[in-house]
Structures are given as structure tokens and as C-alpha cells.
Structure 1
């Protein structure tokens, strides 16, 4: 059974992980705190993460594949190595036209 977080003071390689789920989305927590969290996210082709309204800033970095990110009325195509910050209080959708992995960081402080 996997722990909810990666082990501290141990080297790990996110790019090497293969946690894709057919026709689904898999999230693995890297670090979780009251002020935010960091996750590895694996999204299969044709799947998406839809959020009506982001309450906090959300940083994503594509580490494998390609993602389409919709922020309010703007669409962005991101490839491996590219990142974007989804601003707090914006509508967003992240979809996979092909399988991709990303690091997702949500910062919950500063909005009290």
C-alpha cells in the first residue's frame, strides 16, 4: 500500500513513475500541509479535471506529454517542461488530448 506522501529525505523520480489509470485520473500526494499541497497527477487521454472556480493559486508543470488548460476564456496548450499558474478565483479545466503527467502545487495561504 502506498503512503499518502513520498518519504522525506529520499530521492524519487516523478518522471519515472507510471501511475496512469485507463480512462481516468490518478493523483499521488507528494506533500500536504494546511497551507497547500503538491501532487503528481497522471491523466489518461480524453480525461479532464474540471474545477468551477479555483479558490487558490494553482501552479502546474507538465513533466510528460501535453495538456490543454482553460483559464476563464483563455486556452493554453502546454508540453513537457512548460508551466502555468492558474490564478485564484478563476474558472479552469485541465484536459488530456494525450496522456500526460504534471506536478500540481496549490498555495492556500494569503487568501484569509
Structure 2
């Protein structure tokens, strides 16, 4: 049984090549989801956004292509390819695509 899905195993891949968004879209691809962790690839076209929300788990974004704007508890962070940002559990956050961009989102949930 594979715990990581929707991506080839035992193959070297470029993560940014695994997902694409057309203009006006946000596309997501779930790679893993269980009680402890969620691993999701996202592709945003320029100008798209995910409005303010929060999570019960810590959320870490790893930008793999382009530039994204993340607002965490009112503070803005500009992240480019290679950057990582942790958005703590229960703090409001939002995502805005300043240009086309792609990210890997990892959320680690409490098991209490």
C-alpha cells in the first residue's frame, strides 16, 4: 500500500512539473492525507488567492516556482522559489499569487 499517492515512486522528478494551473485557476494535488499529516501540491495562476482561514495544525509552505504572498496573523511575507514559511496552528493566514506560482503545502496535525 502506498502512503504517498498521485506521484511516481522510485523515480527522480521535478516537483514543479507535477502540477499546472491555467489562467484563472488554483489547482491542487493531494499527495498524502491522514490524521497526522497532509501533503498537497498547489499551482496558482497570477491574481488567484485563498482567503483568510486557519488550521488546527502547523502549515509549512515550500515555494517551488514563482512568487507568492502569504499573510500570517496580519504580517505579509513574500516567498520565492526555494523559500519555506511555517504558518502556526490557529493563526489566520491567506495566500495570494503575485505571479504564477507553485508550492508544496505540508500540514502537521495534533494527535491529541
User: Would you call these one fold, judging by a TM-score over 0.5?
Assistant: yes
Unaligned runs of 5+ in 2: none
Aligned residues between the structures = 108
TM-score (norm 2): 0.86
Please name the residue that 2:91 is paired with.
90
Please name the residue that 1:49 is paired with.
50
Unaligned runs of 5+ in 1: none
Query: For the structure 1 residues 79 and 109, does the alpha-carbon distance in structure 2 shift closer, same or farther, using more than 3 Å as the test?
Result: same
Cα separation, 2, equivalents of 1:34 and 1:54? 13
Please name the residue that 1:19 is paired with.
20
Please name the residue that 2:36 is paired with.
35
Query: For the structure 1 residues 18 and 32, does the alpha-carbon distance in structure 2 shift closer, same or farther, using more than 3 Å as the test?
Result: closer
Query: For the structure 1 residues 34 and 99, does the alpha-carbon distance in structure 2 shift closer, same or farther, using more than 3 Å as the test?
Result: same
- Once the two structures are superposed, what CA deviation does each residue of 1:58-79 show, in whole Å capped at 9, x if it has no partner? 0001110000000012110111
**1:21 positional shift:** 2.6
- Once the two structures are superposed, what CA deviation does each residue of 1:15-54 show, in whole Å capped at 9, x if it has no partner? 2235113201100112222211111100010001124222
Cα separation, 1, equivalents of 2:90 and 2:29? 24
1:47-86 alignment, distance < 5 Å: 47-86=48-87
Is 2:19–2:42's contact at 8 Å kept on the other side of the alignment?
no
Question: RMSD between aligned alpha carbons?
Answer: 1.6
